[in-house]
Structures are given as C-alpha cells and as structure tokens.
Amino acid sequence: MEERIMYRTLLLILVLLFTVCLAGCYDLKEVDQRAYVIAMGLDKSERENQLKITYIIANPEVGSLVGGSTDEPPQETITVHSSDFITAKNTANTVVSKQLTYEMLQIMVVSEELASRKDFIRWFYDTTKDREIRRDTYLAISKEDASEYLQNNKPQLETRPHKYFQFMITRGVETGMLPDSTFHRFYEITEQDADLFLAIYTTSKPAKDPPARHEDEYMAGEVNAKGDANKTQFAGAAVFKEGVMIGKLNGQETRIASVLDETTDIKDVLSTIHDPFNKEYRLAVRILKKQNNEVTMNLEKSTPEIRIKVPLVVDVLSDRSMVDYTKDTRKREILRRQIKVDFEREYNGLIAKSQQEFKGCPFPLSLDARKYFLTIKEYKNFDWMKTYPDMDIHVTVNIFFTGFGKQTKVPNIKHMRD
Amino acid sequence: MRRKIFKRILKKIKTPTPNPPEVSSHGDIALKKQNIKETLDQNLKIFKYLYTVPDNVDVKIREITIPSLNRNAAILYIASISDVIDIEERILHPLLHHSDGSGKIENIVSAQTLKTAQKIEDIVNEVNGGVTALFVDGDRQCYLMEMQNFQSRSIGMAENEVVLKGPKESFTEKAIINISLVRKLIRDENLVAERTVISKRSNNGLFMLYVKDLVNDELLNEVKSRISKLDLAAVHSISFVEQLIEERKSSLFPTVLYTERPDRASAFLEEGHIVLMLDSSPACLIVPTTFWAHFHNPEEHYLRYPYGNFTRLLRFLALFIALFISPLYVAIANYHSGMIPPDLLLAIAATREKVPFPAIIEIIMMEFAFELIREAGLRVPSPIGPTIGIVGALILGQAAVQANIISPLVIIIVALGGLTSFAINDVNLNYTVRLMKFIFIFAAGILGVYGLTASFILCLFYMVSIKSFGVPYLAPYTPTYRSSEDIVTRKRIGSERFRPGYLKPKDSIKKGEV
C-alpha cells in the first residue's frame, strides 16, 4: 500500500515536471526587452501590394524619475516597407534593437490615400489576427502620408507619445469633435453593413491662412492656430462606408453624429448659436445629453418614416445682448425656440447630407430599427443601407435650460450709458 | 525497467538506520508494579532507591515519630514542586504536636485533600506531580496529600494576539491557572475539564475542556480516541499535540487552532468546540476548526459592527494581496504586459532596463530577503534588534536599488506583500500564506496568469477536500450549514443566533430573535 502511494507520487511529480518543461515559459518576454510601438502609420508603398509602415516607439526612460533623467529623445520614428504590419516587426529590427510589440499601440494612422482604396480593409483586418493589438486602439486618418504625419508630429508638453495621443483623443471624444473610432467599433459597424463608421481625422500640415469659421465648423488643418505649439490638429471625421473612406465630416457634423449616437458619450460640448435678440451676436452654450434619444419608426410605408426626438440640456454661458433671461419667461421662450430651430436645422442638415452624399447613416441608427423586424431574414431583406437614402427622417430637439451663467443678473446698458 | 528504477529509489528511502544497544529497565518496572511493604524501613529503602536519594537533592524524606500514635513515620516530597511552608504547617506540625488519641491520620493532618494508595507506581506518579506522601510504620498504605506548588509565570498580557478592545489576559504555563481563566468566563457546571496523562515517561497531563450539554458526542469521542492513540515519551508543548492529532500532518493548511487568549477559547467552547490544554503550555488548542476560524480575529467581535467588518474586509483584501501581488507582478511583467497601463508599463520597463536579473529571480531574491529579515528579527536578542531594521531597510532597500540589483517597483511589491501578510494574525495561517505565495510565484513564472489561476483553483480544490475532525474546512460557506454567518463579514451581535451547524451541537440556537 505504502509502496503504491509512493510510486504514484513519484509518477505524479514526473508528469508535472514534464508538463512544466513542455508547456512552461512559452512566449515569456521581459518588459524591458521590448520596444513599445505607440503609434503605427500605414501608407501605400510605391510597390504594388506593399505597405509603408511607420512606427513611433516610446523610450521608457523618459519621464521616469527612478531611471535617472536622460538626454535621450522621448520617441523614435522609423519607416519600413513590408507586405503587412505583422512581419514588419522583424523588418524593423534591422534598425531597432529590441523586439517590437503592439501591446501599447494607442493609435493607427492611415493616410487618406490608402484609406480611400478598396483594398485597405484587406490590410486592416490583420489587426484582428495579431494577438498583441487591442481592440480599443484608435483608428485615425491623416490628410497627408502617415509617415510624414508621424514625422512632423512633435508634441511640446506631452513629450511621451502615448500620453499625447491618449489625452488628445479622449479629450476630443469628450468634446464631440472626434468620433469614438476604436478598432472594435470599426469591426462592429463594418460587419453590420448598415451604417457608416467615423474615424478620427487629423493632419500635421495645417492650411496656410484658412478662412475663419464658427467654433466647431472646422476640419483638422483649418484652424488658424499661431504660436510655437505642435502643428498637428485633430478635428472632424473620415467617413467609412463598407471599409472604404468616402468622405469627411467637420467638427460640428461629428458632434451632431455623436449626439445622435447612443453608443458614445459626449461630455463637454461648447458651442454657439444665433442670439435671438441681436442677429449679429452669438450666444455661447454648453450642451449636455442626459437622456436617450427617442426614436420612432414606421418602416411599413413605401417611404419609411423615422422621427428622432433628442432631449438636450443647455447651459447658456454668455449673454452679449444683455438680456435677463431668468426674470422673463417670454424671452426664455424666444431663446428656446431659437436654439431649437438652429439645432434642428443643423441636425436635419447632417441627415440630408448623409442621405445624398454618403448614402449611409453616420451613426448606428440601424440598431434602433432592428426591433421593428421579427426575423433576421426580414431585416436583411429590408437592406438598411440601400433603403436609408430614401427614408423620410426628421429630427426634433427638446431643450431644457439648466442655467444662465454664474451670475444671472446683467446691468441695464441703457441706464448705465445715460 | 521503470518499476525497477522506482524500486531502487524506494529501497534507498526505506533502509533503516542502525540503533545503539539498549539497557533493560525490567527490574524497575517490576518493582513499581508491587504494593508497598509493611515496615517503614523497607518502604523507605524502596523509595530512596527509586528517587536516588540522597544524590537527588530536591527529593526530601523527613523521618519523624508521631507521639500520639507512638509510631515511626516519614514524609516524602519533592521540594522544588511543593509548598514547603504548607507541608510544615499542615502535616509536620499537626503530626508532631497532636495529642488526641483517636489514632487516625485523617484526623491529624490538616491537608486539603487526602487519599491513600498501595501501589508503588501510583505513589510515585503522585509524588512526581507534587503530592506529599506519608508513610506510617505498620500501615500497608500510603497517605497522599496535595501540597504541590509548581513555579510559573503570573498571568501576562496576550502578546501574539493583541486586541485594542477586549480582555488583555493570556494563558500562562500552568493548566490550573488557564482553566481558572476559562471558568471565570464560563461559570457553568456543564463545563468539564477532563485530564488524561498522555506521555509515558514525563507524565504530562492533557486537559480536555468542553461544555457537556453543547458538544457533539461523536466529536468528543473522536477527539478522545485520537488522544488515546498518542504514544509519547514526553510532551513539552501543546504544539506537539497539535501536530500529532491533526489529520494531514504535512499539509500546508492548519486544521487545529492555536490560541493564547482565554476569551477566544471560551467563545469557541460556547459554540460547541473542544479545547485542549497541556499542564505546562501558555496556549490552548481548539478543535475542530475551519479556515474562517484561522482567518478571524477576536477583535472583530469586540469592535462595533461597522468597524469590525471594516477590519474583516481589510484583512480579506490583505490575504489576497499577500498571496497574489508578487505572483501577479511576475505573471504580468513576463507574459501579459498589455494588461498594465502604459505609464506603469514604461516605468517598469525603464527601471528594469538596468537590472541584470529576470523579474522572477528579482522577486524571489527580495522575498527571500524579506523572509530573512522577518526570521532574523524574530530570533535576534532584543538589544541588537534595531540593527536588523537599519540593515534591512537601508542596505536591502535603498542600496540594492541604487546598485541596480533590484528595481524599485519590486521593493514596493514585496514590501506591500510582506506588510499585508502581517495582517494575518494566526501564526499557522500566516505560514500558509507565505509558503503558498512561493508556489504561486513559480506557477506564475512558468505559465503566467494561466498558471496562477490554475494553481489557485487547485488550491481551492484542495481546501474543499480538507476536513478537521470531520468538519469541512470551508464550512459553513461550502458546504452550507446553518450558522451565524460569521464568515468573511460578521452580522450584528444581536443577529448571531445560531451555533455553527457543522459542529452538530446539542443545542444549536444560542438565543431567540432580538
């Protein structure tokens, strides 16, 4: 009995030992032996079926106190040519000493030229194959070549590249100027084949003396920013239909798409509207969305009818015409009407543009439509993407006021200037 | 072929080592089996031989003549464990000065207890326990009077299980005092303290305390049978008993609770547990126990409900941090660097860049150093104690980082792991956690988080399989029993209505609805 137990124990130890020897330590790699790719740029190479791949690799020693401050640059940018970005890791090792890893990849920048090609999606879907690439990585489209873009991008304060992209994008999504364009959303929307995917639009080559517009009606590169800050601009969105870039939305349109989109969160949208009491002035407002949109559809009709009610909470921040809204219900009502009319024009404008220009919806409206179908087959037969341009869609906005600035009282100009 | 190799290994393990020749003591054993003789001279000769008088300096024999009986007599006692003044006052003085002629020893001596014995073996055992023996010429029996006075420390403060609120007394190295401390808390005629001698040579007595009308009889018999099976020459600490009666002797998990607090022992007694005490141990054992008993601290019931639960949750968290922080670091740094936030990952990479060792070696080195500081700190004589702190903190911490041997993050991790392990109060469970940690570190080093999870699940399998005196280790959590649900958190005192169902107590309801 004793012998049997001992025999078994010895055997068990051996088996465990073999298991460990055979299976253990697979893909072990120490953190300090890797080069962390923060941003990857994709361009079409001069050679057919090849990509020009640009990497921004973070230098871990910069910004860490314990390692001792170094004079080394915070990042390293290299460009290589390869047939895909998975094997390019090895190609890059001819220049970079450590094993490249995509584990910290924050952003993939694709040039507008490549994104507009039909075969872009074939390369892009390699992101689902690589084990290291995360689905919360952002997709951005650059106006110029991605290699040029990443080369030019030199943040002054957030010198560590991952911090720069992280802050830039999360803030952009919060203000609504940038779409929430993670890889995951790309796969989701593209595979649903019903709506349009919006990707972040950016450029490092701003236009010379661009025309001045209202606060959010810019595309990246159109903001006339002077000074010695980084030249890179993030604003607006690139529109993808079935995995191909077909157009662009400016900041305002991106914001509207975000407001209409229930799957993203906007937090801090500052905008201006016409002042109802003086056509020359504009009123600053903060728009908050606290409730979900109410979507009603009638898809039985020959022209399907969709009504979207958007409840918006508005905080009026400026008052150039010096009207005391708090004491006057009538004036508040005038203001409400003005905002409503302005917003509804903008919102319906975007829908009209998407129907005519893109022939697809820039926010996932099809999600709301699904519950109107009993079977998947019915839904597929309906063919949302094809039907969308002919639909009768109307957006109405409900405005709730929360405040009129810190101090609500304004002096009477007439009395002051007498 | 395979069997042959195994057999060869087994044979090597099994070969006995040679023994030195033994000297027979059959003569002494036969002598002890006899009754005492009729004459005093014969008896004294026997006992002088047995006790090696006069070489044995603290064994005293005082020969007297009792005037009232006009017979020779002698008292035998061991001076070092007897109350000499009591002997003088209660035995010698009455014997020498008594003039009443009733002729009965019982009426002459004023000792508190008096019994008689004939067998030499019995007399010897009693005398060894501090009893004074009186031999009277012509009597075929010996009078035994309890005069013992073992020297011991007075009742001290609990040093290993410190509480802020609650009783401060702790057990001391004398069972009578210890039982007194328990009886002070449980004034109940049903509290039974049974004594059995468990060692052959040193005659150490083991006290078994239980509340008669609560404890489950089957459990009581189980404990009794395990104790009766003990075959020992001498037991000097209750810890030996602990190791002898537990079920899995080489398991990492403790199944017997060791405590030095009378209040804790009483609390367990009143739930239907059994407490074991040794004549000379400053602690008691509580059986059966569950994992939770080891994890709990008496303080949590003395503190108010929210505070008590706060400490509970804190300790629960500490348990997991102590177990997993180092292994998780090893796993994540080696296999899953994508799980770390970018800032931290870069910081780790930056500090690790100059360190020559792989992460697992680094962690094991630091863990080893920490265990060393702990062990050394425990054994070091108190005058040089502070040196340990300085050497430990400065040399190992600061200097190792500056010398690029250890990355600073590892110091934080190991220090945090060490600190949290101190929050686990129970000595046994503390060792369990510290040793398990090393298993997890290796598992994480070999197979990453997968290995860590797999080994933790195996550990849970094992824990579920353990029993302590028939009680499942994780009861009443799994399997579920009716109890006061004093598990991870505790209920309000008023709601703790039931005795733990896994003990199958005779009376399972403590009190009515409050």
pLDDT at position B100: 66
Are residues B458 and B436 in contact, defined by beta-carbon separation less than 8 angstroms?
Answer: no
**A254 shares a domain with A284:** no
Are residues B313 and A7 in contact, defined by beta-carbon separation less than 8 angstroms?
Answer: no
Whether the per-residue pLDDT at B373 is higher than 60: the answer is yes
Looking at per-residue pLDDT, the higher value among B209 and B36 belongs to B209
Tally C-beta pairs within 8 A across A and B.
Answer: 92
**A275 shares a domain with A262:** no
Taking the C-alpha atoms of residue B328 and residue B405, their distance in angstroms, rounded to an integer, is 20
The structure tokens listed for A76 are 């390293």
pLDDT at position A65: 63
The one-letter amino acid at B24: S
Q: Do B401 and A162 touch (CB under 8 A)?
A: no
pLDDT at position A36: 92
Decide which of A267, A293, A320 is a domain's last residue. A267
Q: Encode pLDDT of B198-211 as tens digits.
A: 988 888 889 999 99
- Mean pLDDT, rounded, for A28-43: 90
Tokens 């990707």 appear where? A199
Alpha-carbon distance A289 to nearest alpha carbon in chain B (angstroms): 30
- Mean pLDDT, rounded, for B23-27: 79
Query: In the beta sheet, which residues pair with residue A100?
Result: A35
Q: Which of B254, B181, B196, B216 is nearest to B467 (CA)?
A: B254
pLDDT at position A181: 92
The DSSP secondary-structure symbol of B341 reads -
Q: Which of A118, A99, A111, A80 is nearest to A35 (CA)?
A: A99
The structure tokens listed for B375 are 């062990």
Looking at per-residue pLDDT, the higher value among B207 and B495 belongs to B207
Q: Do B352 and A58 touch (CB under 8 A)?
A: no
Average the pLDDT over each of A72-76, B297-301, B438-442 and give the range with the smallest value.
A72-76
**A276 shares a domain with A258:** no
In a domain, A214, yes or no: yes
In a domain, A14, yes or no: no
**Residue of chain A minimizing CA distance to B13:** A6
* CATH number of residue A294's parent domain: 3.30.300.210
In a domain, A231, yes or no: yes
Query: In the beta sheet, which residues pair with residue A200?
Result: A140, A237
Tell me the Cα Rg of chain A.
Answer: 27
Domain count, chain A: 2
Decide which of A212, A245, A267 is a domain's last residue. A267
Residues in chain B closer than 8 A to A57 (CB atoms): none
Taking the C-alpha atoms of residue B346 and residue A38, their distance in angstroms, rounded to an integer, is 11
Which domain, by its residues, includes A146? 33-267
Asked if A1 is an interface residue toward chain B (Cβ–Cβ < 8 A), one would say no
pLDDT at position B510: 85
Half-sphere exposure of residue B18: CA atoms within 13 angstroms, side-chain side: 2
Find the CB nearest B349 among A20, A31, A160: A31
Taking the C-alpha atoms of residue B258 and residue B282, their distance in angstroms, rounded to an integer, is 10
**A302 shares a domain with A289:** yes
In a domain, A26, yes or no: no
The one-letter amino acid at A102: Y
Decide which of A245, A267, A289 is a domain's last residue. A267
Q: Do A64 and B347 touch (CB under 8 A)?
A: yes
pLDDT at position A64: 66
pLDDT at position B2: 67
Q: Encode pLDDT of A127-183 as tens digits.
A: 999 888 999 999 999 999 999 999 999 888 888 889 999 999 999 998 889 999 999
pLDDT at position B1: 64
CB count, 10 Å around CB of B303?
A: 20
**A310 shares a domain with A218:** no
Whether the per-residue pLDDT at A189 is higher than 80: the answer is yes
Those residues with Cβ within 8 angstroms of residue B433's Cβ, 6 or more apart along the chain or in another chain? B319, B322, B323, B421, B424
Percent pLDDT > 70 in chain B is 98
- Mean pLDDT, rounded, for B305-309: 95
Whether the per-residue pLDDT at A211 is higher than 80: the answer is yes
Those residues with Cβ within 8 angstroms of residue A376's Cβ, 6 or more apart along the chain or in another chain? none
Residues in chain B closer than 8 A to A132 (CB atoms): 338
Taking the C-alpha atoms of residue A180 and residue A193, their distance in angstroms, rounded to an integer, is 18
Asked if A134 is an interface residue toward chain B (Cβ–Cβ < 8 A), one would say yes
Asked if A338 is an interface residue toward chain B (Cβ–Cβ < 8 A), one would say no
Q: Which of B198, B45, B216, B232 is nearest to B120 (CA)?
A: B45
Q: What is the mean pLDDT of chain B?
A: 89
Q: Which DSSP string do the residues of A297-336 spell out, in sequence order?
A: EE-SSSS-EEEEEEEEEEEE---TT---TTT-HHHHHHHH
- Mean pLDDT, rounded, for B46-74: 89
Whether the per-residue pLDDT at B473 is higher than 60: the answer is yes
pLDDT at position B513: 58
Taking the C-alpha atoms of residue A189 and residue A339, their distance in angstroms, rounded to an integer, is 32
Whether the per-residue pLDDT at B385 is higher than 80: the answer is no
**A139 shares a domain with A80:** yes
pLDDT at position B461: 94
Whether the per-residue pLDDT at B8 is higher than 90: the answer is no
Distances (CA, A) of A325 to A291, A339, A404: 25, 14, 7
Helices B427-465 + B305-334 axis angle, to 10: 70
H helices present in A193-247, as ranges: none
Beta pairing class for A392-403 and A305-316: parallel
Burial-class residue A354 by CB neighbours within 10 Å (0-12, 13-18, 19+). Answer: buried
The structure tokens listed for A304 are 């399907």
Q: Which of B421, B181, B405 is nearest to B320 (CA)?
A: B421
Those residues with Cβ within 8 angstroms of residue A342's Cβ, 6 or more apart along the chain or in another chain? A273, A274
pLDDT at position A412: 80
- Mean pLDDT, rounded, for A239-261: 92
Alpha-carbon distance A58 to nearest alpha carbon in chain B (angstroms): 8
Residues in chain A closer than 8 A to B412 (CB atoms): none
**Phi-psi region for residue B236, left (φ > 0), alpha (ψ -120 to 50) or beta?**
alpha
Burial-class residue A2 by CB neighbours within 10 Å (0-12, 13-18, 19+). Answer: exposed
ipTM of the shown complex: 0.82
Whether the per-residue pLDDT at B496 is higher than 80: the answer is yes
Considering only CB atoms, which residues of chain B are within 8 Å of chain A? Answer: 6, 9-10, 13, 333-335, 337-338, 342-343, 345-355, 358-359, 401, 407-408, 445-448, 451
Q: Do A103 and B338 touch (CB under 8 A)?
A: yes
Are residues A162 and A104 in contact, defined by beta-carbon separation less than 8 angstroms?
Answer: yes
**A216 shares a domain with A184:** yes
Delimit the domains of chain B by residue range: 28-146, 175-289, 305-471
**A277 shares a domain with A256:** no
